[in-house]
Structure formats: structure tokens, C-alpha cells
A and B are shown apart, each in its own frame.
Chain A
């Protein structure tokens, strides 16, 4: 637990009651928590906020949190997705990102956050989920990186 002590975590979760639960859990793990519940506010936090890791609920009402994930990829900030639908609930291009199964539980949350913070190689967009964690920070993000907009219904 000491590893998480004092770490700042951005929590993006759109349901008030669920956000309260996740925030309490993170605080009990020793984290300082920034909470955003709306896509627009979360995007501002993701671009300019100071934090060590992020927990993104995939479904924000009817919007998805992928635009926030894209910003975090650019900033090379580690994050995980939280969803009740498991890995299947995440768009293919984002399958390299660790997934926390909802409902939120303390032990899996602590485990995944510790891995995120100790792992030197954060996930990269479009990474093969079976190839292990790879790092975008070791080189510039390739210009050919897919500009996948999963948030826009076609």
C-alpha cells in the first residue's frame, strides 16, 4: 500500500453514488483523488491536471471515455479502464489498457494501480493485448497511429 501513498489519481466516473464509493476506496489506499464526472470536465483535467495515474469509467452516460484515454496516451500518463463488461466492454484499439472489472473492489484496484505505477512501460494505443505492456514514451507516437474515434457513433 505504501507505493500508493500520496499518489494523485484522476477518477472519471459519471454516477454520483458510484463515484463516492470509488473515491473512498482510493483515499483508503492513501491516494489523493481528483474527481471528474463529465466528459468535458474530465478532458480539461486530463490535459492540464497533475496526477500520477487515472481510473476511467468507460461508459459516461451515453458517451465513452476514449477521448480522455487519447489525451493520457499523449501525455504518457498511466491509466486503467473500469467497466462492468470486462475486456469485451473496451473498443479493440484500447485493448492494451488494463481493465478493472466493476463493481469497484479495493484489492483489484490496489493491485492494478500498483502495477501501473511500477511498470516502466505504460500501455500504448492499439497495442496487442497479448504482447505485454509496451511503451509509447520510448519513442514518438508514430504518425500513422490510428485516429480511431470510438466515441462517435457511425
Chain B
């Protein structure tokens, strides 16, 4: 082997090992243990010298790369030229461009992802962690590199991405299908006003799901939910000053996002038909705040207030909108909701304890299990 500073060699230790037979026994025993650990580890471990040559690799590394340690040592070249010489697109990958080997890591546990080339020529994605090895005077004399094959993780992430796309597509498609079935079924039978109310509600439901799609169905931004619910009207109105929308953003559980979207849609529809949005000078403010509850959750306190519309009278019949808002919403989220038909304009106050993100009812089950 050519002259090089090698991280496994220590002249002091080498001298000491010759000092007594007892020392020699201990060294042998230590090496046996280390080999047992290294060769049973599932992570691939490479030890590099200061010339980027690999001077040791464990069994997992041999299986990962398709090369034995003897083969790698015999090549007498940087490890990069053996396992990392080509980009996945076929271009040569010079050592100078390599994130792992280009320079010694300055810090412990520098991480990254790369694509290696197997001895049989196939590419495989890996995650690596590189840490420097220093000599007694703190000079960096080598690198220890841990490598994991991340093909499974990459495949799983890809499957999840495909599933999410399929889910988004199906949800939107199903809503569009329901709309079409309703149109075909009630053609010439239902009055057109009812049909357009139905269509608008389907669009509101679809819009609510758009917000969820944007965040992988995990949660939705409160501000986005409010803005999207107002969006058709914002576009329709030249004077965007008709709306005042103010409040801190928060992450909403998907269930809260959908029901709140539908509730806001009903308020919008009512305002456009009878309320402040039915006249040019009418205005609507949607203001909210978040307050800490005793149990550590946050409560959304949202007030919808109409001004400048025609004089309001309490409706004689309560429809879908008021039922959804005043009855279902509190039942679904353990909150409260009130619609006040003030003569100056409708005021709707919603108090919704925000569900901890995670799954709904989890807290209940956990409390029961603890009893």
C-alpha cells in the first residue's frame, strides 16, 4: 500500500501492542469484538484515508456495493471512482464534484443523499453520514462514512405521492360526477334556482377540498379557508374593500376546514341574496382571534358581521345554512354558534375549539384507557 496517513494506524498503539503478550491478547480480543460489531451492523461503514481511498469497509458495505474489501484495496484509487463514478443520467461523475469525497467534512455527522453505482452497473439511492477522523494534533486524517440504501424509502415516498395524486383526482372527480348525476336526474324537473343553489354548494365543497389538497390532507390554513370561501365574491366585486378579513392564521383539522368552508359559503350566499352583499354599499367583516382554553387547546373565535345592507328581519323558516351553522357545527366540534339577525346586519359568532392535529377522538380514547 502506498505511503499515506491512515486513520486506523497508531504508532503508539503499534509499539505498545508489542510490549507484552497480555497486551497482545487484549488487542486481539478488542479487534474480534469490533469486527463482530462492524460485520453485523446493517449500516454500511467505510473508513477513508486522506486521499479518499477506502481502507476499510464492513460486510454490509460489501453487500451494498457489490465489491469485497480486497477488490477495493486492489483497485488503489479513490472510492468515488469505484462506487460513484457515473451520474444516473450516464454522464461521468468526477471526484471533484462529489459531495461526499470532495472535501473532508468539517463537522461530525454531515448528511446527504446520493446515487451510487453497484458493481453490476445498477444505480441505487443512498443516504450518507460523514464524520472526520482527527489525529492527536487534531489534523483531519480521514473520514468515516456511514451509508444506507434508501431505495425502499424512495419507493414508498413515490407510492405515497401517486396515492395522494389519485386521492385528489378521485375526490374532485366524484364531486363533479355527483354534480352531473344531479343535473341529469333533475333536468326539467327541479326549478333552476334550486339547481344553482345545489351547484354552488358543490363548488364550495370542492373548494374546501382544494385547500386540503394543497397541504397533503394533513391540515388546512385557516386564512386560506376563509379567503377561498370568499373568493368567488371577491372576484365578482370590483370593490374589494367590501370585505375586511383579519385574524391570525392557524392550522385546521380537515374536518373543521370542510365544515367551516360550508358554513362560510352559506353566510356568503345569504348575504348576496338578502344581506349586505345584495346592495353595492354593503360591507362584510370577518374577524377572528385564537384564545388558549383551560385544557391547552386553542379556541377559534370568529365573527362575521354585515353592515350597510337592507334592514334585516328574522327569517320565518330556518334553512340548510342556519341548521348547519347553529346546530351541526357546535355538535361536530363541541363549540358554539349563533346567528343574530340584527336589523343593521347579520352577525354570526362561531366558537370552535381547534382539534389537536392528529386524529379526532384520540384524547377521549386515551383518557378512557387511562381509567
In this assembly, does B190 line the interface, its C-beta being within 8 Å of a C-beta of chain A?
no
Do A38 and B361 form a contact, CB below 8 Å, given A16-B324, A16-B329, A17-B324?
A: yes
The bracket for how many chain B residues form the interface is 10 to 19
Select the stretch in B99-107, B126-134, B141-149, B363-371 that faces chain A: B363-371
Instruction: Give A39 to B361 CA distance when docked, in angstroms.
Output: 6
Residues on B with C-beta less than 8 A from A41 are 331, 334
In this assembly, does A37 line the interface, its C-beta being within 8 Å of a C-beta of chain B?
yes
Are the CB atoms of A40 and B323 closer together than 8 Å?
Answer: no
Are the CB atoms of B361 and A63 closer together than 8 Å?
Answer: yes
Instruction: Give A41 to B364 CA distance when docked, in angstroms.
Output: 10
Residues on B with C-beta less than 8 A from A35 are 331
Are the CB atoms of B361 and A60 closer together than 8 Å?
Answer: yes
Instruction: Give A152 to B63 CA distance when docked, in angstroms.
Output: 40
Min Cβ gap B247→A in Å is: 22
Interface membership of chain A positions 111-128, coded 1 if the CB is closer than 8 angstroms to chain B and 0 otherwise: 000000000000000000
Question: How many residues from A make CB contacts under 8 Å with B?
Answer: 22
Which of A37, A40, A67 contacts B328, CB < 8 Å? A37
Residues on B with C-beta less than 8 A from A43 are 364
In this assembly, does B173 line the interface, its C-beta being within 8 Å of a C-beta of chain A?
no
The chain B residue sitting closest to A24, CB to CB, is B323
Which of A38, A40, A67 contacts B332, CB < 8 Å? A38
Do A63 and B329 form a contact, CB below 8 Å, given A16-B324, A17-B324?
A: no
Residues on B with C-beta less than 8 A from A37 are 328, 331-332
Min Cβ gap B68→A in Å is: 43
Interface membership of chain A positions 38-55, coded 1 if the CB is closer than 8 angstroms to chain B and 0 otherwise: 111101000000000000
Are the CB atoms of B328 and A60 closer together than 8 Å?
Answer: no
Are the CB atoms of B365 and A38 closer together than 8 Å?
Answer: no
In this assembly, does A137 line the interface, its C-beta being within 8 Å of a C-beta of chain B?
no
In this assembly, does B262 line the interface, its C-beta being within 8 Å of a C-beta of chain A?
yes
Interface membership of chain A positions 90-127, coded 1 if the CB is closer than 8 angstroms to chain B and 0 otherwise: 00000000000000000000000000000000000000
Min Cβ gap B361→A in Å is: 3
Are the CB atoms of B362 and A16 closer together than 8 Å?
Answer: no
In this assembly, does B293 line the interface, its C-beta being within 8 Å of a C-beta of chain A?
no
Residues on A with C-beta less than 8 A from B255 are 14-15, 61
Interface membership of chain A positions 51-84, coded 1 if the CB is closer than 8 angstroms to chain B and 0 otherwise: 0000000001111000100000000000000000
Instruction: Give A63 to B255 CA distance when docked, in angstroms.
Output: 13
Instruction: Give A38 to B253 CA distance when docked, in angstroms.
Output: 15
Closest 6 CB pairs of A and B: A63-B361, A62-B359, A61-B360, A16-B328, A37-B331, A39-B361
| Chain B residues packing against A (C-beta within 8 Å) | 255, 259, 262, 320, 323-324, 328-329, 331-332, 334, 359-362, 364-365, 368-369
Please name 20 pairs of A and B residues whose Cβ atoms are closer than 8 Å in the assembled complex, sorted by A.
Answer: A16-B259, A16-B324, A17-B328, A19-B332, A20-B328, A36-B331, A37-B332, A38-B332, A38-B334, A39-B364, A40-B334, A40-B361, A41-B331, A41-B334, A60-B361, A61-B255, A63-B360, A67-B365, A152-B365, A152-B369
Q: A16-B259, A38-B364, A60-B360 are in contact. List 5 more A-B contacts (CB 8 A).
A: A14-B360, A20-B323, A41-B334, A61-B359, A63-B360
